[in-house]
Structure formats: structure tokens, C-alpha cells
Chain A
Amino acid sequence: MKDTNMNNNAEAGLKQSFAAMVYGEIVYWLSIVACFVCTIAPILTVAFPENNFLNPYFLFARIWEKTPPDKIWMSAGESHFDAWFWTRNLSQGDGLIMFGLVLGCSCACIGLIGASLAFFFRKGTGAFLGDRLYSVGGGDISRDVGNAPIRESEFSFFKEAVISFFSEDDMVQEPEPKEFCRRLQSCRNLAVFRTRVEIV
């Protein structure tokens, strides 16, 4: 029978790819942030017209006169266009807009890095590598960190954090305590390894 209350995979009891969800969330929120930056930054351009990389008084006239882009940028007094001009001009209106655009144009790359990290830790490869690297540094993970069970308070804290973060859309179901502890342990192993490297 058709169940109209279910809307997505999680509600239907299907296991959703965690890496895909991480990618989707990162891309969605970064594009929203980029859009927000591009909404408010033109206020800076108009409020302080002299404080812009491209003078707004003459910009639209040049665009409407079929001026090629390189000539538009040269009107700013630069000998050649530098795509990273905004890093030095973040307090200017067009510098801030360009930051928003670059953020939006990079969000798929950032999302894929997030998705690969999610995949890495989800599959336990992170835990395995963390252990191996730690032993290369002369340590013994089971001796130094131990396979001590995660404390009840620690588990409850992380569980609560994850559930409250995802509860809005029931994207993930409540994790199994055993699986959750395993993931937490792998993260902890990697953190200890990182600390050890820093000390060395």
C-alpha cells in the first residue's frame, strides 16, 4: 500500500550514501552563502563607489559598449588582469562579490573533499591508516590509546550532537552504538596520531 508519509530513503528504511549526503549538504550551503555574499556586497559598491577595484560609474557604460573583458579590467589601471585581485581587496564591494563568486565556483571541489573524507572514515580506512601510521612513529595504539570502550557520557554527547544536527529531515537514523563507537574510536586514533606527529 502506498505510504504518503514517507518522502525520502531514510524514512523508507533505505541506507543512504553518507558521502553523497555530505557532498549535497556542503554544496547546498556553500552556494547559499555565496548567494548571500553576492546579495549584500553590492551595497558596499554603491555606498562607497570610490572604494572599488572597477569604478562603478563607468562600468556599465563600458559593458554596454561591447568592451572586451580585458579592456574593462585594464580601465582599473592594471597592466594585466589578476584573477585573485579580491584577496587584497576584500573590504571593497567588487572584491567581496568576487569572493562570493569564487566560493560558489569552488563549492563542488570542497564538497568532493568532504565526501571523500566521509567515505574515508565511514569505511574504516581512516581507522586502519591511523593505526598503521601511529605504529610507524614507534607507538602502539592499543597500548597508548588502548581499545578502551568509549565512556557512556562521551557517547551520549556525540550521539546527541549528531541527532540534533540531522534531525530536521531525518536524514540519518539513530546510529547503532557499536558502529558509532567504532567510528569515534577511529577519529580518536587519528587525533592522537596527529598530536604525536606535532610533538615529534
Chain B
Amino acid sequence: MSMENGKNTPRFLKSPWLELIVLLGSVILSYIALLIIAGGSDTPPGGMTLMNIVLFLFGFFILSFAIAVIAVMAGIGGGVIYTPLMLAFTPVNSLVVRATGLIVAMFSGLVSTGPFMKRGIGNLKIAMLCCAGYGLGGFLGARGAIYVAATMGAAGEGWVRFSLGCIVLVLGAYFFFGGVKRDWPEIKSGTKTYPAFSNPYYEPSVGKIMDYKVVRLIQGAAAMFGIGLVSGFFGMGAGWAIVPIMNFVMALPLKVAASLSGIVIGMGDCITVWPYIYSGAIIPLFVAPWLVGQVVGGMIGAQVLIRARSEIIRIILIGIMFYTSFGLITNALQKLGVTPALPSWASVLVLVLMMAWVIVVVLRKSFGTEAKKRRQAA
């Protein structure tokens, strides 16, 4: 009886729509309530008005929501965008930004875990093994970040921004040129496989049950340690590194690797974030809107906008990453005393040049696609 009822239930009363609607409704109602409460309040001398606090919270929520939606559409993790942007263009302490960045990356992974496991594409055994390496590396990376912040002061802040700027620059280039990925990696005969770790799944796009083999488990887990170290230190997601490692080293199919990266980040960052919690770098009122924006934006992006995944948005995001890396490196050089503060016209000039580059690339891609369609039609 209950089965029949389940099939007749409207789509919007079923998971995940039901929780998405409840969350979205509670977000809208809570911000209306916040605005009403903040409207008629007194402010102590020297303090910020409650209305400004509410506007800050709302601004953070909207930014986080936008990052989550755009990240889903572009196929790039939210943490990779959040942490560099905040470190490059805001004066917030880097430890607070990195701790919040980990929460942003972690919750993106956590909300995607349930659907992946339900669909059967998530593999808990491999996730746990990879998490052992990733979690340990992430924990040490987080401890290192706290140590650097405590001992190196302004120079430490400068070096963190400089190295992150270089990483983001390389990542932008990697995303732009695409990198080589294999949907179904070939395994050479004689390579040791681990049948206990494989987990066949049904692939709706081809209507077949797909099985895969896993190789080089130990090497994969060891590489995860290094990735965790970087992720924990800089407080950002690491899907950009986990997917290629799983695809090339462990020979996992691309789709399985992409889903597992979210599961591993969600699981591993639950370990990584604790040193930050114990150091006090998680400021509750600052983190809350970023967390909520990631969860709601990520769910809407995954349910509504996944089909609208666009190459153009990806290029715009890559442009943002290049500009962010410029901001991070100049900010770092200034903090390290290498260069004086950059004049504002120089920043604007670089921004205009970057926008021009994005427009040219987008136009070339659009014309290329049009010409290809015309050729195919001919």
C-alpha cells in the first residue's frame, strides 16, 4: 500500500525536493524575520547597527549561493573559488577564511554523498580508504596552517597568499586546457586488481550495468595524503586533484572518480576542520550564511541547473580565477615588502584585460560551435 502511495505522491513532496523547499522557505522566512527585527533596534556607541549585520549576513548568503550554483554549472568546486577570492580581495584574517573555506568545500561534498550512494555510483570502501590518506594529510595541513599563523605573522600571511596565488594560476590553466581524462581507463594485463573494492552500478545514460576494476590502491591512498595536506593547509576543496589521481592512478572511470571526490572531500574535511574549530578560527555568525548558501545553492544547482552546464560559464570562472591569482600574488608581494601597494588603475587595467580575454575566448568558442554545426548540417 505504501509503495503505491509513494508512486502517486507529487514530485515536490518527495526527497530531495521536499527538503529543498523546506530549506528555501526557512531561508526566505528567516531573512524576512531578521529584517523586521533589525528594523527597530538601538545600537551601542561604536557598534555596528543590527540592520548592517543582517545585510552582511544576507550578502554572504547570496555570494555563497551564487558561488555554489555557478560552481555546479561549471563543474568546479565551490571551495576553490571561495578561499582565493576572500584572501585576495578582503582583509579578513587568512585563518578565518581558510576555516570557512573548508566548511564550504565540506558541505558541498556532504550533500552530494546521499544521492551518489543511493544511485550506487558511490563506493564506500574506496572512499574510506582514500579518506584515511586524505584525512591524515588534511589534519596535518590544518595543524601546519595554525602553526604558520601563530609563528610567522604577516610574513606567513604573505607566503600563504603567494603560494595560493601560484596554485590558482596553475589550476586556471589546467581547467582552461582541459587536461587529459579518460572515461574508461584501460588496465594493462598483469596489473594487480582488487575485486573486493569494485562496485558495479547502473548507468542510465547507456542503459547498462557498468563494472570496473581498481588498481594501485596503496599509491592512490598515498597521493591522497599529499592532496589532503594542500587542502587542509589552504582550506579549499581538492576535487581538481582527487579526480585525476583516481582516474589515472587507480584507473577508476571518470564518473565514479567525480562522484567519489565529493564523498572523500565531505568525509575527509570532517577530520580536517577540527584543528580549525579548536583554534577558534570558526566564527559561528560569519560561517553560518556561507554554509547555508552552499547547501541550498548546491542542491538547486544539482536539481535544476545541472542540464544548463555551460562552457561559457566555465570560461568566465577561469577568468575570475586568473584575476584572483593576480590579486593574491600582488597582495602577497605587498605584504612581504617586495613591492609597494598596487595603484588602483593597475588593478582596473588588469581586470579590463582579463574581461577582454574572456570575451574573445567566449566569442571564438561560440563561432567555432556555430561553424561546426553548419559543417555538420552541410
Complex CA–CA separation, A109 to B267 (angstroms): 8
> Which listed residue, B6, B26, B111, B271, touches A31 by the CB 8 Å rule?
B111
> Which listed residue, B2, B3, B90, B119, touches A8 by the CB 8 Å rule?
B119
Q: C-beta contact mask, B282-318 vs A, less than 8 Å → 1, else 0?
A: 1111111101100110000000000000000000000
Complex CA–CA separation, A38 to B218 (angstroms): 38
Q: Which of A84-142 contact B (CB under 8 A)?
A: 86, 93-95, 97-98, 100-102, 104-109, 112, 115
> Which listed residue, A4, A35, A105, touches B207 by the CB 8 Å rule?
A4
> Which listed residue, B3, B6, B122, B285, touches A56 by the CB 8 Å rule?
B285
Question: Are the C-beta atoms of A73 and B292 separated by less than 8 Å?
Answer: no
Residues of B within 8 A of A65 (CB): 91
Residues of B within 8 A of A35 (CB): 23, 107, 291-292, 295-296
Question: Are the C-beta atoms of A38 and B117 separated by less than 8 Å?
Answer: no
Q: Is residue B30 contacting chain A, with contact meaning CB distance below 8 A?
A: yes
Question: Are the C-beta atoms of B284 and A101 separated by less than 8 Å?
Answer: yes
Q: How large is the interface on B (under 10, 10 to 19, 20 to 34, 35 or more residues)?
A: 35 or more
Q: Is residue A169 contacting chain B, with contact meaning CB distance below 8 A?
A: yes
Residues of A within 8 A of B209 (CB): 12, 14
Question: Are the C-beta atoms of A45 and B204 separated by less than 8 Å?
Answer: no
Residues of B within 8 A of A106 (CB): 270
Complex CA–CA separation, A66 to B86 (angstroms): 12
Q: Which of B182-221 contact A (CB under 8 A)?
A: 199-202, 204, 206-207, 209
Residues of A within 8 A of B96 (CB): 63, 69
Q: Is residue B278 contacting chain A, with contact meaning CB distance below 8 A?
A: yes
Residues of A within 8 A of B107 (CB): 31, 34-35, 104
Residues of A within 8 A of B53 (CB): 46, 56-57, 59-60
Complex CA–CA separation, A9 to B199 (angstroms): 10
Q: C-beta contact mask, B10-54 vs A, less than 8 Å → 1, else 0?
A: 000011000100110011001001100110010110111010111
Question: Are the C-beta atoms of A107 and B110 separated by less than 8 Å?
Answer: yes
Q: Which of A172-191 contact B (CB under 8 A)?
A: none
Q: For B282, give the chain A residue with the smallest CB separation.
A: A101
Q: C-beta contact mask, B87-117 vs A, less than 8 Å → 1, else 0?
A: 0001111011001000100110011011111
Most buried by A among B9, B95, B274, B286: B286
Q: Which of A1-35 contact B (CB under 8 A)?
A: 1-4, 6-12, 14, 16-17, 19-21, 23-25, 27-29, 31-32, 34-35
What is the total of A-B residue contacts with beta carbons within 8 Å?
Answer: 237
Q: Is residue B273 contacting chain A, with contact meaning CB distance below 8 A?
A: yes
Q: Is residue B123 contacting chain A, with contact meaning CB distance below 8 A?
A: yes
Beyond A24-B114, A25-B114, A64-B91, is A40–B30 a contact (Cβ under 8 Å)?
Answer: yes
Residues of A within 8 A of B15 (CB): 168-169
Residues of B within 8 A of A3 (CB): 207
Q: Is residue A171 contacting chain B, with contact meaning CB distance below 8 A?
A: yes
Q: How large is the interface on A (under 10, 10 to 19, 20 to 34, 35 or more residues)?
A: 35 or more
Residues of B within 8 A of A171 (CB): 118
Complex CA–CA separation, A58 to B57 (angstroms): 14
Residues of B within 8 A of A8 (CB): 118-120, 202
Q: C-beta contact mask, A130-173 vs B, less than 8 Å → 1, else 0?
A: 00000000000000000000000000000010011001110100
Q: Is residue B56 contacting chain A, with contact meaning CB distance below 8 A?
A: yes
CB B351 to nearest CB in A, in angstroms, measures: 23
Q: Is residue A43 contacting chain B, with contact meaning CB distance below 8 A?
A: yes
Residues of A within 8 A of B206 (CB): 2
Question: Are the C-beta atoms of B2 and A160 separated by less than 8 Å?
Answer: yes
> Which listed residue, B91, B119, B270, touches A105 by the CB 8 Å rule?
B270
Q: Is residue A83 contacting chain B, with contact meaning CB distance below 8 A?
A: yes
Question: Are the C-beta atoms of A115 and B93 separated by less than 8 Å?
Answer: no
Q: Is residue A47 contacting chain B, with contact meaning CB distance below 8 A?
A: yes
Question: Are the C-beta atoms of B48 and A60 separated by less than 8 Å?
Answer: yes
Most buried by B among A2, A4, A7, A45: A45
Complex CA–CA separation, A68 to B94 (angstroms): 9
Beyond A14-B120, A69-B281, A115-B124, is A57–B44 a contact (Cβ under 8 Å)?
Answer: yes
> Which listed residue, B6, B113, B204, B274, touches A28 by the CB 8 Å rule?
B113
Q: List 5 A-B contacts (CB under 8 A).
A: A14-B120, A14-B201, A20-B117, A34-B107, A63-B93
9 further A-B pairs in the complex, CB-CB below 8 A; given A55-B47, A64-B92: A16-B120, A38-B291, A42-B288, A54-B284, A104-B103, A104-B107, A108-B271, A167-B5, A168-B15
Residue numbers of A with Cβ under 8 A of B are 1-4, 6-12, 14, 16-17, 19-21, 23-25, 27-29, 31-32, 34-36, 38-43, 45-47, 49, 54-61, 63-70, 72-73, 81, 83, 86, 93-95, 97-98, 100-102, 104-109, 112, 115, 160, 163-164, 167-169, 171
List the 3 shortest-distance A-B pairs measured between CB atoms, nearest first: A24-B117, A28-B114, A57-B47
